[in-house]
Structure 1
Amino acid sequence: MNSVTGLFVLSVLLCSTLSSWSATVNSNGAEFPRLSGFGNLSTFLLHSESGMLYLGARDAVIVVDTAKLSKKMIEWSVPEDRRKSCVAKGKTEDDCRNYVRLLEFLDDGRIYACGTFAFDPQCAFINISTFSLEKQDDGFIKMETGKGKCPFEPSQPYTAVMAGGILYTAVTSNFLGTMYDISRATGIEQERIRTEQSINWLSDPEFISSAFIQEDAKNNPTGEDDKIYFFFTEVAKEYDLYTKVKVPRVARVCKSDVGGMKTLQRRWTTFLKAQLVCEDRASGQRFNILTDVFTVQHQPGDPSSTHFYGIFTSQWEREELSAVCVYSLEEITKVMNGPFKELKKSCENWINPEPIPTPRPGQCLNSDQRELGFESSLKLPDKVLTFMRDHPLMENSVVAVPLMIRYGITYTKLAVTLTPAFSGQKQHITTVLHLGTDHGELHKVAVVGPNATLIEEITLFSAQEPVNNILLYKGEAVVGSPHSLVKLPILGCSLYSSCEVCARAGGLGCIWRHNRPACAMAKPGEVVEAEDLVRQCNKREGLCSPPVIEMRVVEGLRVLLSCVQLSPRPCHWDHPPGSHTRHHNYDLEVQITNKSLGIYVCLCDEAGRDQPPCRKAVYQLTLDNPRVEGNKAIAGSRHFMASHIFLFVIGFMLGGILLFLIYKRQGGMTVGGNSSSTLEKGRDLLHSTDTPQSPSSASLLSEAVPITEKRNGTLNGHGHSMHPGGHNGRHIYTNSSGLKLQESAVNLADELDGRERAGPDGEEEGLEEGLSEMEEAFSKMPCLQGAPLAQCEESSI
């Protein structure tokens, strides 16, 4: 028995050693301060003066000193009786805990915190000076209801913003998650108003973000009211199609709105919404799912210069993709002041739109309205409120062209910095996008005019930890996942350690100094063209004479050959005739067959049309298993990660077998245990992929992602993910550094799920036969034969 126990302990130590080793490699060659061991981080709140960062987590609120990255924690958990009651209502034990989803500063110096509290939202107060939850005289935590302030479900999309000490929220307002409200959640009871319970106002929305825009007293001659903006995706009722069409929206309410006197009592009288359009004009592709929004003032201190940067994806595309569009406050205001959507119809006969009454419905209070005697929304006439109730949607849309489009990548979070740079004697502002992925990576993209350039990729977390928070503070970024926190620098040309990467950051004003050698900021008046940087890098580093990367592959695999391009000039591939290929911007996807073997060369026009093309990458594909040979092929991080996860699984299975033997000898083994509950307890709230992935490169910049091509203002780059399919789900990803192997067969969770779901063929056939018999029986029922069509009714949106 002692020897068996010793072997079990040894296997566990082996597994933990391999796990920590993989985590070390995942740092992508750079050491960043890190905190881990959190439970489902979801909310960031920064105190800008002290630099203290408050985090909402599961059953806890945490404060982190951003300078030292040290932490303190206070517990806020659910009593056992409430948790059992929640489970009895059909919820999982893991969901029946307290997930802190809201943290906001109050005017009295306290923090207002709200959590799901076992599907019974509650709010509490945190004393900042002592960092403790305020308690009642009996010693229990002082709490108040959080309904309408915090979601019931931990993973429910939700947003909230504090405006003048009053909380405005967009959240589900019932236990089942079927009612949606945009409301003023705190303040005077009579002024707590919300949206009308109508699908014309909100139709199955997913709330994303919110922003409070306070008017500048000096530059507000019309006396316009302050406004709160909400961003969400909802099902469009104006499109009558065979399937539900989702559209991104922006909605606006006014801060002084207190509802109507008779019509729209305790409801918004200024609720207006408009569609956001993010469309690539070259291809006509439209991105209709909004996933995140970041608000920034292009001119600090000027609210009218506010811009909203959004991450979009598509409802109709099967492959992963992400696009970034930006909308100005001026454009949104123009649409909100435009015509209203009129969708009243009777069968096929459209009626004339209703005349717009005076004062204009949905308009915020201003000096002109006050002069006419409308000092409050309570004094608005019923005809104005009735029109407002029936016409919340605007006719025109807010249209933008994507700043960038990435295929094979799913971005989850966005932050934006505006970096000054010199172009000769003139100073310009470069927009830098900091994008978090669902695989724990942080991408930096510089946008200069219509050009978007991917500067660097940094892997911060494991592939199962998506980036769910990005905070920019004093030239650094604090990036969070559900379980970890990382701090890293984001400003300065010194971050780029090679001539090639420095050339990519030319839009930020960076120039490679060969005499040092180092990447430095260009001096005022110093002009270096992008093509000159390319020539210098080619001359000094020999980038037009890349080594031949030998790839030994197996027939049936899909291989992605990477080609990294500095300039927006075109690239093309020379490859064997008869090979099955597909272009992904500059990258080339190859289906491995006998005809696909041979030499693949990527040629790019780096220095102009009068110069010979530059050889950016050379690959030789031969049939064999992938292997490492000298400097010609370096195993990619996905291959590395797959092997260690495989060893981890073997060690875990060995430990389980030994533990089984121990229990068997002791007679304590129980047959028929339920493993699904254990898996359910350990699941994360936020979505993550099943297939483990490791960093894509050993440097700050993954060369597997091509640099941008200027096509109508879009960046058509392609990431590391591939289309589902292929043979056995195996894909190889390569770059100029070597070979990347992703082996989805090592995913233990997928294997177990597959075994549980896979049943005998007879059962599946029997199910199909049963469904066919039921369908035939229903078709013969008299009540379903010759059923009359529904009468056309008059509807309004």
Structure 2
Amino acid sequence: MGILSLLSLSVVLLNFLSPSETGPTPRVSFSLGSPGRFLTRFSSPDVSNTTTLLLSEDGDVLYVGSRDAVLALDVSHQDAITLKGKLDWSPSEKDLEQCSMKGKKMSDCPNFIRVLQFLNSSHIYACGTFAFSPRCTYINSETLTMSLKPDEGRGRCPYDPYQRNTAIIVDGELYTGTVADYRGNRPVISRHLSEGRRVDLKLDDTLGWLEDPTFISSTVVPDEEKIYFFFSEVGREYDFIDKFIVSRVSQICMSDIGGQRTLQKRWTTFAKAQLLCQADNELPYNVIQDIDTLLPAEGAPADDTLFYGIFTSQWSVNSGRSAICSFRLSDIKSVFSGNYKVLNRDTLQWSTRVQEKVANPGECGLHNASDNALRFVKENFLADDSVRPVGRTLTMVSPEHRYSHLSVQRVQAANHRDYTVLFLLTESGYLHKAVLLQSGAHIIEEVQVFEQLQPVKSLKLSIPQGVIYVGTSEGVVRIPTSNCSVYWTCPQCILARDPFCGWEPNSRVCVEVKSTKIPLVQDVDRGNVEEACSSVSLTHRSRFSSTKLSAGELVSVSLNEVVRLQCPPSSRLSQQQWERPNSRLSPDLYLHLEDGSLSFVATPTTLGHYLCLSTENSFQQTMAIYHVKQKSSNPPPSSHPITQAGGRLGPRLLTSEGPQRTESEPVPEAEQAEPTQSSKNPQTPTSEAKDSPRWTEESGPRGSEFGKERPLMWSRGPCYLKELVVVSVLLVLCISLLITVLLYVFRQRCRSRTTIQAGTPPRDSGSPVEQEALRGHCGSKRNGKALHSGQGGMVCNGALTGSNGHLPNTPI
């Protein structure tokens, strides 16, 4: 209960904390159909749900288990995938009718191929759901025809197409993890196709060896003669109110033939342990999603075998996050050779207590043990300790991406060192290629595989061919594992830190390491451009030399225009900054936008040259130079128009090998050997937002020459001109209304002060003339004498009159 209280308290505390760490960011990103990342697709109107992939030994044929069919695809050509053969295997109308009568949807009643394994050199063993009545058959791999009539597949293939399963054939025998009943309540790990003295085996389900599992994968370790199964299930050893999911690894020995009296036709070597993907002081990532095996390097022992898995969490604090953990075979063996938990049959509670070992659970050769020993291993199959990840730390954490599938490969770099590369498929449809370094995981690139979200059931890596196959609901996609040709300069090739790629100094190209024996330049660990590309001129001191400034792009603007200068980033890991010669970019005049561009209002102060620099891993390179100049004739602008310079990739990228020249200037032979990045690869991937402004075809960002004026056009992008106009109009209206109200109030106060109310006697009697006026005797004579005009006007009956008897300043 102490552990339960601590864990409950941790959940409460961590729910108030939002994860602050950020995962690795893909350096470059390739959108769907990008010329910089070539993908090969296969699709057909009558092919869907490619849930199982099987690659031939020579890598020329890919067998695909889909809905109601088994396909043979010719993948020997790099530029195309063609259909070589197809075996239709669909239920009859009667089978579909019976499936519907069981209360199942008709969309779930077809035959979904879930098992596809090589039985021998000439045949494939296949199993399908077959309208919720599993069937299995033998298929000739050459002719793609059935050799025998399909037989029952219960215990070999799931009934429900949505239930996950795993299967592997070793020495002609099928080892599976699936469910053995229609409702899916009887999970089994079993062996089939046994011959001679060997019999088919399955688990003893009287004590609940499996608790509602979700099978993920299975693999064989030949040196150990064991099959390892990976799955997740309900952890009954934890007394929680809600079901607590745990990830498991279990083992069985291939030599097991069951007990003589106890555990007849049952596994005597079954044992399971918890896989704990957890960092210190954090909740565990307890739900396994996928796992792949990395065999040890040549000459290393089998105990160095690593298992890389994707884990997610059922806790809300880690919702939407994925973690990658690796487990060593030696650690798994150590846990299985330790103590085991004891199950109380009365309370069905697990406990740990010191007890005398009658036998070692999980040890091979127990089929000849005594009944007492077999009863002991029958009741003690859950290891007491958990398998911790390598280094007791997480290999990688991604707060932003939720991964579903992975493949792992060991790659030898140019320095003859081995690096581990992970291929991770996100649920949003991107494939990430990450290399594991001492400093952490570095995502080299991300490639968009499909546009619409769709279930992915299979991911197959072919190391000899250097490709990855992805099975989706629409077909099959092939992706090359390396993409070295996209890096056109030595800095870009080094900054990629791709163990597949290296820079060839003589030909000045980025090539695949295994394709040449010439010594290559590469720095996977640090990505230090200054040292790796020492043979290439990398001058950055004279940023505002006359040569560079003359090569800048001329931007003609009118005064009071809003100018926006684009800065194409070299990668998503780079940082952009702007500079001016002998001038500081004051924040009062300039606005640095999130996409790296610079925005300001054209004034005599802001005219001149601008330089955009991109810095990545302490290496700085010039990306764009602009010369903002006032137009010769300026029509009076009605408002603040916006002038934007630079398209999606901005102006021509200026590489570090030297300044960019105009098209009319001659190019020396030294620079012809290594063109600039923009001229060779206009589709170089950038991290600019998808809705960022672009040049239209009329503006021609790539075709126009530097030093020449060109019309600047505004196209799609975050334009705030309308918002600026609306806000300005509203501001003017508000100010006008306020001034009107103030003038009205001021006028009323003035009138009230200058007007004498009728019937209010003055305090002082005043002069005789004033008294006469107040009494209402407004005559022009006093004592029989006329008033002189110099006496001024009088107030008569509340009206001010002049000497002429009229209102002041009023003509007669």
Q: Percent identity?
A: 32
Q: 1:65 aligns with which of 58, 74, 79?
A: 74
| TM superposition shift of 1:513 | 6.3
Q: How does 1:232-271 map to 2 (within 5 A)?
A: 232-271=231-270
Change in CA separation of 1:390 and 1:565 when aligned onto 2, cut-off 3 Å: same
Q: 1:607 aligns with which of 583, 595, 618?
A: 618
Q: 1:380 aligns with which of 369, 373, 385?
A: 369
What residue number does 1:648 align with?
Answer: none
Q: How does 1:341-420 map to 2 (within 5 A)?
A: 341-342=341-342, 344=344, 353=353, 355-365=355-365, 377-400=366-389, 401-420=393-412
Q: 1:179, 1:39 → 2: CA distance?
A: 29
| TM superposition shift of 1:201 | 1.5
Residues 136-186 of structure 1, C-alpha deviations (whole Å, 9 max, x = no match): xxxxxx111000010001111100111111001000111111110011122
Q: 406-415 or 311-320, which moves further after superposition?
A: 311-320
Contact persistence 1:456–1:702 (CA under 8 A): no
Task: State the one-letter code of the partner of 1:296.
Answer: L
What SS class does the counterpart of residue 277 from structure 2 fall into? strand
| TM superposition shift of 1:613 | 13
Q: 2:489, 2:570 → 1: CA distance?
A: 19
| TM superposition shift of 1:328 | 1.8
Contact persistence 2:276–2:386 (CA under 8 A): yes
Q: 2:444, 2:302 → 1: CA distance?
A: 30
Change in CA separation of 1:75 and 1:352 when aligned onto 2, cut-off 3 Å: closer
Q: How does 1:197-276 map to 2 (within 5 A)?
A: 197-198=205-206, 200-215=208-223, 226-276=225-275
Q: 1:115, 1:515 → 2: CA distance?
A: 55
Q: 1:380, 1:484 → 2: CA distance?
A: 51
Task: State the one-letter code of the partner of 1:155.
Answer: Y
Q: How does 1:564-583 map to 2 (within 5 A)?
A: 564-565=572-573
What SS class does the counterpart of residue 510 from structure 2 fall into? strand
Change in CA separation of 1:539 and 1:632 when aligned onto 2, cut-off 3 Å: farther
- 1:45 and 2:43 equivalent? no
Q: 1:441 aligns with which of 411, 423, 430?
A: 430
Task: State the one-letter code of the partner of 1:457.
Answer: E
Q: 1:452, 1:51 → 2: CA distance?
A: 32
What SS class does the counterpart of residue 408 from structure 1 fall into? coil
What residue number does 2:646 align with?
Answer: 631
| TM superposition shift of 1:304 | 3.8
Q: 2:382, 2:648 → 1: CA distance?
A: 57
Change in CA separation of 1:73 and 1:346 when aligned onto 2, cut-off 3 Å: closer
What residue number does 1:747 align with?
Answer: none
What residue number does 2:324 align with?
Answer: 324
Q: CA RMSD in A?
A: 4.4
Residues 262-285 of structure 1, C-alpha deviations (whole Å, 9 max, x = no match): 32222211111111111233x624
Contact persistence 1:306–1:329 (CA under 8 A): yes
Task: State the one-letter code of the partner of 1:267.
Answer: R
Residues 463-490 of structure 1, C-alpha deviations (whole Å, 9 max, x = no match): 3234432332422222322222122321
Contact persistence 2:289–2:310 (CA under 8 A): yes
- 1:472 and 2:478 equivalent? no
Q: 1:587, 1:31 → 2: CA distance?
A: 27
| TM superposition shift of 1:261 | 2.5
Contact persistence 2:59–2:75 (CA under 8 A): no
Q: 2:528, 2:179 → 1: CA distance?
A: 56
Q: 1:196 aligns with which of 183, 195, 204?
A: 204
Task: State the one-letter code of the partner of 2:239.
Answer: D
Change in CA separation of 1:563 and 1:105 when aligned onto 2, cut-off 3 Å: closer
| TM superposition shift of 1:289 | 1.1
Q: 2:219, 2:109 → 1: CA distance?
A: 30
| TM superposition shift of 1:196 | 2.1
| TM superposition shift of 1:241 | 1.3
Change in CA separation of 1:352 and 1:239 when aligned onto 2, cut-off 3 Å: closer
Task: State the one-letter code of the partner of 1:26.
Answer: L
Q: 2:236, 2:587 → 1: CA distance?
A: 52
Higher helix share: 1
Contact persistence 1:434–1:443 (CA under 8 A): yes
Aligned residues: 548
Residues 747-766 of structure 1, C-alpha deviations (whole Å, 9 max, x = no match): xxxxxxxxxxxxxxxxxxxx
Q: 1:177, 1:186 → 2: CA distance?
A: 23
Q: How does 1:300-319 map to 2 (within 5 A)?
A: 300=298, 303-317=302-316, 319=319
What residue number does 2:102 align with?
Answer: 89
Q: 497-506 or 308-317, which moves further after superposition?
A: 497-506
What residue number does 1:183 align with?
Answer: 190
For the pair shown, which has the larger CA radius of gyration, 1 or 2? 2
Residues 678-709 of structure 1, C-alpha deviations (whole Å, 9 max, x = no match): xxxxxxxxxxxxxxxxxxxx9675637xxxxx
Contact persistence 1:430–1:446 (CA under 8 A): yes
Change in CA separation of 1:602 and 1:261 when aligned onto 2, cut-off 3 Å: farther
What residue number does 2:138 align with?
Answer: 125
What residue number does 2:32 align with?
Answer: 26
Change in CA separation of 1:735 and 1:448 when aligned onto 2, cut-off 3 Å: farther
| TM superposition shift of 1:329 | 1.4
Q: 2:282, 2:614 → 1: CA distance?
A: 29
Task: State the one-letter code of the partner of 1:27.
Answer: G
Contact persistence 2:466–2:480 (CA under 8 A): yes
Contact persistence 1:288–1:312 (CA under 8 A): yes
Contact persistence 2:407–2:459 (CA under 8 A): no
Contact persistence 2:174–2:192 (CA under 8 A): yes
Contact persistence 2:503–2:520 (CA under 8 A): no
Change in CA separation of 1:198 and 1:436 when aligned onto 2, cut-off 3 Å: farther
Q: 1:614, 1:129 → 2: CA distance?
A: 57
Q: 1:147 aligns with which of 131, 141, 154?
A: 154
Q: What TM-score comes out, normalization by structure 2 length?
A: 0.60
Change in CA separation of 1:52 and 1:613 when aligned onto 2, cut-off 3 Å: closer
Task: State the one-letter code of the partner of 2:216.
Answer: I
Q: 1:701, 1:272 → 2: CA distance?
A: 49
Residues 59-101 of structure 1, C-alpha deviations (whole Å, 9 max, x = no match): 0000011113211211001000110110111100011110111
What residue number does 2:111 align with?
Answer: 98
What SS class does the counterpart of residue 286 from structure 1 fall into? coil
What residue number does 1:172 align with?
Answer: 179
Task: State the one-letter code of the partner of 2:375.
Answer: T
Change in CA separation of 1:533 and 1:563 when aligned onto 2, cut-off 3 Å: closer
Task: State the one-letter code of the partner of 1:397.
Answer: S
Change in CA separation of 1:605 and 1:490 when aligned onto 2, cut-off 3 Å: closer
| TM superposition shift of 1:292 | 0.8
Task: State the one-letter code of the partner of 1:274.
Answer: A
User: Which consecutive residues of structure 2, in runs of 5 or more, have no partner in the other structure?
Assistant: 1-29, 545-551, 554-568, 576-584, 589-593, 597-611, 625-641, 651-681, 696-714, 719-812
Q: 2:487, 2:218 → 1: CA distance?
A: 35
Q: 1:455, 1:202 → 2: CA distance?
A: 40
Task: State the one-letter code of the partner of 2:382.
Answer: L
What SS class does the counterpart of residue 482 from structure 2 fall into? coil
What SS class does the counterpart of residue 388 from structure 2 fall into? strand
Q: 2:251, 2:422 → 1: CA distance?
A: 26
Contact persistence 2:175–2:192 (CA under 8 A): yes
Q: 1:289 aligns with which of 276, 287, 290?
A: 287
Q: 2:211, 2:61 → 1: CA distance?
A: 38
Q: 2:127, 2:351 → 1: CA distance?
A: 48
Q: How does 1:452-531 map to 2 (within 5 A)?
A: 452-467=441-456, 468-473=458-463, 474-491=465-482, 493-497=484-488, 502-506=493-497, 508=499, 510-512=501-503, 518-520=509-511, 530=526
Q: What TM-score comes out, normalization by structure 1 length?
A: 0.61
| TM superposition shift of 1:333 | 0.9
Contact persistence 1:563–1:587 (CA under 8 A): no
Q: 1:532 aligns with which of 528, 536, 545?
A: 528
Q: 70-79 or 437-446, which moves further after superposition?
A: 437-446
Change in CA separation of 1:414 and 1:118 when aligned onto 2, cut-off 3 Å: same
What SS class does the counterpart of residue 388 from structure 1 fall into? helix
Q: 2:204, 2:379 → 1: CA distance?
A: 10
Q: 388-397 or 79-88, which moves further after superposition?
A: 388-397
Q: 2:92, 2:170 → 1: CA distance?
A: 33
Contact persistence 1:442–1:457 (CA under 8 A): yes
Contact persistence 1:531–1:607 (CA under 8 A): no
Change in CA separation of 1:310 and 1:501 when aligned onto 2, cut-off 3 Å: farther
